[in-house]
Amino acid sequence: MENRDPIVNSVVGSYNKRADFGFAKYGTTLERADLTFMQWLQHLQEELMDATLYIEKLKSELTQNDVIFKEGWDSADKIIHDGFVYIKYSDLK
């Protein structure tokens, strides 16, 4: 089902691609019954730990890379640098 919001459509598309990737890699869906509740929590914790590492990496890029700040972050809609697109959170309405 298509949503009128293109951002929602993009996220749903990403979820579908991720599900296809997971099925191809593991041969099962998240409806698998071979993990205990604690094992699911462990997987979640590890994924969230990875997410904090990605956040720290991006924060490091923002604070250590003069190119980004020289571009005038406060007045820019977005900054593209080294294949990353930086968009201010306040602009994601």
The share of the chain scoring above pLDDT 70, in percent, equals: 75
Q: Is the pTM of this model over 0.95?
A: no
Q: What distance in Å separates the CA atoms of residue 17 and residue 6, rounded to the nearest whole number? A: 16
Q: Which two tokens stand for residue 59?
A: 């924060």
On the question of pLDDT at 27 being above 80, the answer is: yes
Q: Could you report the per-residue pLDDT of 50-73, keeping only the tens digit for each?
A: 999 999 998 888 777 666 555 555
How high is the pLDDT of residue 74?
A: 61
The model's confidence at residue 2, banded by pLDDT at 50, 70 and 90, is: confident
Residue 78 contacts residue 85 (beta carbons within 8 Å): yes
